[in-house]
Every structure is written in C-alpha cells, then in structure tokens.
Structure 1
Amino acid sequence: MSGFKSLFKQTFIYGLATVLPRMLTFLLVPLYTQVMAVGVYGKVSIIFSWFAIFNVILAYGMETAFFRFFNKETDKEKVVNTSTLSIIFTSFSIFIIAFLFKYQIASLTDIKVEYISFVIWILLLDALVIIPFTWLRANEKPMKYAAIKIANVTINMSLNLFFLLWLSGLAKEVFFFQPIYKPNFEINYVLIANLIASGVTLILMFPFYNKLKFSFDKKLWKRMLRYAFPVLIAGLAYTIIETFNRILLDSSLSTAENPEREVGMFSACYKLALFMTLFATAFRLGIEPYFFSHAKSDNPQKNYAKILEYFVAFGSIILLVVVVFADVIKVLVIRDEAFWEAMWIVPIILIASFCLGMYHNLSVWYKITDRTKFGAYISVFGAIVTLALNFWLIPIIGYKGSAIATLAAYGSMVLLSYFYGRKYYPIPYNLKKIGLYLTISIVFSLLSFYKFRENYIVGMSLLIVFAFIMFILERKELKLLLKR
C-alpha cells in the first residue's frame, strides 16, 4: 500500500502539471470559438495536427528509452549526456532541412509559408526540452516539472488573450500598439504566442544544460535507438489515430462544401473529451516511472493489475459525468452555436479516450520486458484501422466517421495488448470487475446522451446508481486508502 501512496502522490502532482496547464488551454477554446470563424479554427486545428506528428518524429522514442536505460544502467550520467546530445543533433539537422524546403512543405500541407516558419521554430524549441523534462520525471522532481509546465501554458494563454482579445482595443487608444495589431491575423498571433512560450520554457531549462557534459557513448546510443525505434513507430501510429482525421476531413475525401468548417466543428467538440484525456495523461505520467522502478520487486504483476482496476473505476465516473452534463459544458466552452453541430461525437470520443488510457496501462508488459516492437505492431494496426475507416466513412457520414474510426482503433489496441500481454507477461487483471464498470458506464452514457439527452433527472439517476454500485464494490479499498 505504501507503493500505491507514492504512486498516487506522483500521479496527483503530475496531474496538476498536466491538468492545470491543459485547463488553461481549455479556456482558449471559448476564446477561439468567439473570435474565430469556424473555418479559421479548423485551419488552426489542422496546423496543430501537423505539430503533433512532427513532435513525435523529433522525439523518436528517446523519452521512453531514457526512462528504461536510466533505471537500467549504473552510469546514469552517460544516459543523460548521450540522449541529450542525440536530440540536439537531430533537432538542429531537421530544423535546417525544414527551413531549406519550407516552400515545398507549405505546398504539400496546404499551409502558408509564414505559418510553416513559425512551426519550424516552435518544433525546435520544444524538442530541446524533451530530455530535460524526462530527467525531472526520472529523478522524481514533480514540483519543478509542474511549475515549468504551468509557466509555459500560462504565458501561452496570456499572450493569446492579449493578441486576440485586447490588442485591437489597445491599438485604437495607444499609438505604441498600432504597429503590432493586424486584422485577420489570428493564426499568426496563436503561433507567436506558442513560440514565445516555448522559448521561455527552454530558458527555464538552461540549468539542466549547464550541468551537461558533452560526452557521447556510441554503443549506448545504438542500444537506446534500437529500443526507441519501435516507440517512434508506435508514437507516429498513435498520432495518426489522434490527429490525422483533421487532415483527412480537410482533404478531397470530404463531401462538405467547406471542409475547414467541418474540421472546426469536429475539433471544438472533440475538446469536450479533454477531461478524460487529462485524467488518462496524468495517470500515465504517474505510473510510467512506477512501472519501471518496481519491475524487479516481488510480484509486481499484482500491483499492475490493481492499478488498471483503479484507472477503470475513476475513468468510468469521469465518462458518465461528462456525458450527462455535456450540453451544460458545451455552453461554457464552445461559445458559438455554429460549432455545436458536431456534439454527436462527444460520447464516442470520450469512450475512445478511455480506451487509450486503458491501453497505456496494459502496455506495461512490453515496456518492461523490452518488447517495444509489440507496441509498434499494435499501434500500427490501430493506425491502419483508423485510416481504413476514415477513408471509408468520411465520404459517407463526414466527421461522425472519424469519431467511429478513433474508437475502433483504440478499442482494437486494448484487445490486442491484453491478449499479447497474457502470453508474454501475464498479469492477473480482475476482468469481472473491470468488465462490469466498463459495461455499465458505457451503456449508461450512451443511453443518457442518445436517448435521454438533456433529461438531467434520468442522467443524474444513472450516475447515482453507478456511483452506488461502485461504492458497494470498493468500500473495503476505500477504507484502506483513507486509513493510510
């Protein structure tokens, strides 16, 4: 139980580091949907989809490799130096190549060159803090990790508010601000805010670089790359599942008259699944170091099984609460009714995000047994599923098809990871309890939204029934945790 106390403490702090910044950015959704047309917001979403893809390429699995070798090697300083220098070299190399070919990239992605220039700089700055942030997590410095993460997004949000909400008024009254303000410049302002925030974050990480010794172990680097490469493939596949649907919705697949408008509606309503994503991400940040550090303890499988059980229990509550109150939340988050047309996707995306969180918990078996290639296989399978279903369904039902494809991809990844895990690293999951929580929460959620939408008497009743069932099943565990 003491191990779980440490886990929950880490998860809580990393949760703050994840939830608070994401909640600050969540507040940008009302701003964006208030000041931007649906199509403009769609273009912003497409740009950030490309961001996500290239962030994975620039990290190339080195973050996960760092964790594995930092806990495995006796010379930890060698791991830090080698992984950091590797990221520095590859980041600057890609930066130079991207700048030389930015016009070709702009043509290929259908994004203006001026936006591409901002994106290239932001990607470089973000890549240079990958290992410093990972080092903080590996050395159990969650408070510093949280403080820098929160500072990054606070600066980002403040600048977004300044540029998009206040600058136009200031430009009319104060001469100093007139050269800064440009009408119809929203996308540039969003990118400038990101660039400044990323630059400040790198400055805050300078103490890490001051301690860095420029020694590079080629043999260690090759071993780390072998471990990291499947993680890169898995990361790319995951990113395709999560973000490539925006790009496909904007492509010739879409039958909509204004594809960017469809992307804007889809992206705005997708944000309502953020509550599940935040929970799953915070949980993953907390458990990942725990998985590696406890891999050699006595019977770690028993603890891993209990962790998934906790995740499903809490996730089921979050799923049901968000679905029941989705139409209340949308008024607060998505200000323009023009975006609400895509609300149909909310329960589907929430369940998909829930499945992704379960997959991250189930993936412990291939990470600690150095079988990361299975993570790549499973993620690639998920990417194939989402691409196939997007190509099939987008021309028929538009963004609804993208939501269904996302759920099918993550659901299939959960099943594959579980069945392969049983073979290579059996973990005694309580399938009866997990299955019960999943079935009840999903059925109640679908009933509440698609059959009794905005009937809060029915929705609250379903929520209370589920909470009562969970209390009956978990009362012993709750008493133990409260006593500790």
Structure 2
Amino acid sequence: MSIAKKLASQTAVYGISSIVGRVLSYLLVPIYTARFAAAEYGIVTGLYAYVSFLNVVFTYGMETTFFRFANRAGADRQELYNRVLTLLLLSSAVLTAVLALLARPLMSLLDLPPGQERYAVWIALILGLDAVAAIPFAKLRLENKARKFAAVRMANILLNVGLNIFFIVFCPDVLAGKYLAGLQPLVRSLYDPSVGVGYVFLSNLAASAFTLLLLGRELTSFRFRLNLEPLRPLLKYAYPIMLMGLAGMVNETLDRILLPLWLPEGFYPGKSSLTAVGIYGACYKLSIFMQLVTQAFRYAAEPFFFAQSTDKNSPRTFALVLKWFTLSCAVIFVVVSVNVEDFGRLFLHRAEYREGLGVVPVLLLANLFLGVYWNLSVWFKLTDKTYYGTYIGFGGAVLTIVLNFLLIPLLGYMGSALTTLACYFMMAVVCWRLGEKHFPVPYPVARLATWLAVACGLVALSWYVPVADFWLRHAFHAGLCVVFVGLLYLIEWPRQLAARA
C-alpha cells in the first residue's frame, strides 16, 4: 500500500505541475494577442512549431533510453548518466551551431525579411540548453525526486511568464507614461523596443539557462565520458523512439509549418501567410480546454489501466472509463463551441485574431478524438504490442501531410483544422478496430457516436441560427448547453444507477 501511495503521490506531482504550467503559459495568449499583430504572433507560432520537431531531434530518444538501461540488472547508473549526458552535450553543441549557421535559410521559410536571424539563433540556444537539461531531469525522476523535478519545472515556467510580462507589458507601458514614469531611465537601459516579439524567445532563453543553474547539483556530479563502443546499444535503442516522436509531432504541429508554405498568395485578401499562421495559432490555443482534460487523463489513466489489467472485469471497467471520458469531453466541446465568440473576446484581444474562430470547434473535436485514442490504446500496451502504436502514429503522419497538401490551398487554415480532426479520428477508429481483434472490450461505440452526433448538431445549430439580440443570443446558447447536459443526465444517469444495482 505504501508503494501505491508513493506512486500516486508522484503521479499527482508530475501531473499537476505539468497542467499548472500549461495553464500559466496559456495566460500569455491574451497578452500576445493584445500587444502583437497577427503577423508578429505568426513568427512565434511558426518558430515554436519548428521547436516541437527539433526538440525530438536534439534529444533523439535518449531520455527514455536512459530510463531503460538504468533499470537493467547490474547497471552502473552514474557511469550511464555520464555517457548519455556526454553524448547529448556534444550533439547539442553541434546541432546548435548548425542551426545558428543556417539561421537565414530557416527564417526564409517563414518569409521574414533579412535582419531577423537572431530569432533563429536564440531558438537554437534554447533547444541546446533544454536538451542538456533533459538527462538531469530524467535522473531526478529515476531517483524518485518528484518534488524537485516539479519545483524546477515550475520555476522555469514562472520565470518565463514573468519575463514575458515584464518586457511585453511593463516596459512598454512605463515608456509610454502609463504608470511609474520615474522608472523610465532604468527601463530604457534594460528594454529595446526594436526587439519586439523577440522578447518571447529571450524570456524562454533566460528561463532555460536558469533551469540549468537549478540543476547544478545534478550537473556537478557529471563526469565527461566519451567511449563510442558502449554508446552503440544506446543509440540502437534510441533511434526508433526518435522516429515515433517525430511522427507524433507531425500530427500535432506540422500544420503550422506547412500553412505558410502551401497557402496560396492572396488567399486571405490583405493578409500575409504569416498573419494567417498567427490567427490559426492563436485560435488553436482555445482548444486547450480539451487538451488539459486529455493531458490530465493520460497522467492518471496509464497507472489505473495497468493496475486493473489482472482483474477479470477489466474490459467492462475500460468501457465505462471511455464512456464517461467521452461524455465529459462532449460537454466541454458543446459549452466552448457554442460560446466560442465569448471565449474569443476574452482571450483574443484583437479583432483580426477572432476571424479564425471557426476552427475552434473542429480542433476541440479533434482533441476529443485524441483523448479517445489514448483510451483505446490500452489494448496494445497491455498485450505488449506497442509496435501497433508506431504504425498508427505513422499512418496519422502520412494522412496529415497528404490532407494538408490537398486542403490548405482550398480552405486555408480551416483545411489544417479539418486535417487534424481527420488524423485523430482515423487513429481512434483504427485503434478500436485492431483492439476488437487483439483485446476485445465492450465499448458502447454506437451510443457514444450518437451522443457526439447530438453534440455536433447542437453546435451547428448555435452557429447557423443567427440571433441578433445580445441577451437572446446568450440565452439561446445557454439553453443549448442545458439541453445537452440535461439529456445526458436524464438518459445516462439512470443507466449508470441500474448498472451498479
């Protein structure tokens, strides 16, 4: 029991720190959309899409590899730590230098004018520092130091958010004389208005450097060890993990990279492709309401599923979990989608960003199906057939590339949103069909599909039935939400009580 409590406690620490971190980072979105034009925010969206891919390349699966080899019988954990960190130090230095040298070609992919290469250099430094920090973080997890792990992560996020607020809100306001005008000489010495959106990257860079300082104890125990022969089995184990990670990033972020490349010139009159990326990236953030639920579920679900795997009633339990997860997410889908204009005004301060609100219901539904996929994936984890997860992930990556190629020129960023939905829907359906053969679970598929159809119908009703009066419109939207929740309560709750009896 004490081991179970310890595991539950650590899971909560890791999970809460991650979710709270994402919420704090999300609070920057209203600031960015208030202070930056969509074209400027498009730079942030585009570059961080590349960061998602490059993070996988910079660490190339070595974090998971370190865990795997450290838990082998007779493993010398300190020597393994030295070798893995040595490898990452050298590779990060090389990759950072290469990215810095290729700064101009990289920035040309985002159609930025010359002189903005410094953004790519700062991104390269962030990637290098974060890659080096990955193994000390893994060491903390291996040693069950969950609280320090979470504390360092939170310090990184708080510093990043604080510096963003300081440089993007406080300094410009002081120089504009809105408050504390007496601090203007000090602010002028610290703040350069020409950097503009670059302070997003500089804040991140400072937070990444500070993280290494907080990991000083783990780094001072490190000893440089370069011996290629013992590294071969590590690299052999690591490269498939890197490929899986890249496939996952294709499904998650490739649309924001492909959008400026495949969007026809003049598709949005008077707007550049970078502006379109900024609008899409800002609206994508509104799907965080579903992403947070999915992320929290993932932290809690895997330990639960494995704990239940030996119970003879586990298939019934798994079906019940999927049912209530899907219905809960359907409520979020309806509430946010029906009231998306209000959420848009709350989080997207400039009107130009709100032009893309139509993608939000599509992306919410996409993330709902991603959560369904994580539910369904229990079968290949419990049967040790995880290679099926690789196949499904790569299938999703291929579909993402093909559909973006076909739909972006026709539908713009709505094409990217529909591609995301199609990808995650396909992954969920394929995973369910394969699971039927290898690990049958009595999922109420038809019933859940009916509820999702009802949810989509109510959302469509809210979008396509115009109500001009402000109060009547909000009453209508609130009524749609009440109808959906009421139907769920009247129909599903009695069934749940009957099942318990």
Do both share a fold (TM > 0.5)? yes
Distance 1:135 1:237, change over 3 A: same
* Displacement of 1:260: 1.6
* Aligned mates of 2:422, 2:126 — CA distance in 1: 32
* Displacement of 1:226: 3.9
CA offsets, 1:330-363, max 9 Å, x none?
Answer: 2211111221111111111011112222333444
Question: What does 1:71-470 correspond to in 2, within 5 Å?
Answer: 75=75, 77=77, 80-108=81-109, 110-111=111-112, 112-137=116-141, 140-171=144-175, 173=182, 174-212=184-222, 221-254=231-264, 255-257=267-269, 258-288=272-302, 302=315, 308-309=322-323, 311-366=325-380, 371-423=385-437, 426=439, 428=441, 430-432=443-445, 435=449, 438-449=452-463, 454=474, 455=476, 456-470=478-492
Listed as ranges, the gaps of 5+ residues in structure 2 are 176-180, 467-472
- Counterpart residue type for residue 428 of structure 1: V
* Displacement of 1:139: 5.0
CA offsets, 1:360-384, max 9 Å, x none?
Answer: 3444455566655433332222122
Secondary structure at the residue paired with 1:179? Answer: helix
Distance 1:437 1:157, change over 3 A: same
CA offsets, 1:396-441, max 9 Å, x none?
Answer: 11111111011111111222233344555x2535344655665554
* Aligned mates of 2:496, 2:234 — CA distance in 1: 41
Distance 1:458 1:422, change over 3 A: closer
Secondary structure at the residue paired with 2:261? Answer: coil
Listed as ranges, the gaps of 5+ residues in structure 1 are none
CA contact (8 A) 1:294 1:300 kept: no
* Aligned mates of 1:330, 1:184 — CA distance in 2: 29
| Alpha-carbon RMSD | 3.6
* Displacement of 1:176: 2.2
Aligned to 1:42: 42
- Counterpart residue type for residue 335 of structure 2: V
* Displacement of 1:475: 5.1
Q: Which has the higher contact order (CA 8 A, sep 6+)?
A: 1
* Displacement of 1:117: 0.8
Structure whose alpha-carbon radius of gyration is higher: 2
Count matched residues: 477
CA offsets, 1:244-269, max 9 Å, x none?
Answer: 22222212533234212211211111
CA offsets, 1:265-302, max 9 Å, x none?
Answer: 111111110111122223323445666x7599677965
- Counterpart residue type for residue 202 of structure 1: L
CA contact (8 A) 2:111 2:274 kept: no
* Aligned mates of 2:442, 2:87 — CA distance in 1: 38
Distance 1:36 1:106, change over 3 A: closer
* Aligned mates of 2:212, 2:320 — CA distance in 1: 38
* Aligned mates of 1:5, 1:320 — CA distance in 2: 36
CA contact (8 A) 2:400 2:419 kept: yes
* Displacement of 1:220: 7.2
How does the TM-score come out when normalised to structure 2? Answer: 0.82
